[in-house]
Amino acid sequence: MIRKLLGRARRRLWPSPMDHSRYEKLSVPDTFRKIYRNQVWGNNGERFYSGPGSHGAASDLYCAAVSAFIRENGIRSVVDLGCGDFAVGRRIVDATEAQYIGVDVVPELILHHRQKFEGLRVSFACANIIADELPVADLCLVRQVLQHLTNHEIATVLERLSRFPRVLITEDLPVQPTSINHDMTHGPEVRSDFGSGVYVDQPPFSLAVKEIARFSLSETCLLRTVLVEKADIAVTT
């Protein structure tokens, strides 16, 4: 317990190499290009690595839950916003028959995926989800992406998701939060490191959601997936 408290204090007083102040003056595209180029989320030997959140037991459970949702609801096409290293998307593709479009803001990552993974049911698009045109699909996935953005950027993304009939939003959340939707600059860290998280059903977003899955990440954090339907997207900023 003392170690956890000291760790939280250290993160507040002495920012880590992932400190968002290193990125706040960069655009969102340049921020994520820098994160991947400098392997800020780690290095597993591959050219692009989205960090441990794309692997492990919680990731397996997430893939199983989303794949079941796709099959049970007759979803024929999926857009994955912030597809990252495609470690998660690849498992969803393998477990379903849906057409998959992975979207990410890093051009080099998208080029790599097109050369290595693109096929009859799999394609990729380079886009900034805050500002650029997004592909159309029956279902949109946004997994552990919003947590890296400011509240204003999150609100902008949520408003743009109204083009999708159904959206599954997944975020890291603390088991015992000390705050809700604490704002921060965009970058590699996440709010759960500071006792907060992105709760799209709470102010300032206040969307109507249905929770479809909740998995443990650690003793202090969980992974929560909620369903948002098109009629329920009306963000107040």
Domain-wise residue ranges, the chain: 16-232
* Class of the CATH-defined domain 16-232: alpha beta
Quote the percentage of the chain above a pLDDT of 70: 86
| SS3 (DSSP) at 206 | coil
For residue range 108-122, what is the model confidence (pLDDT) as tens digits? 999 999 999 999 999
For residue range 141-187, what is the model confidence (pLDDT) as tens digits? 999 999 999 999 999 999 999 999 999 999 999 999 999 999 998 98
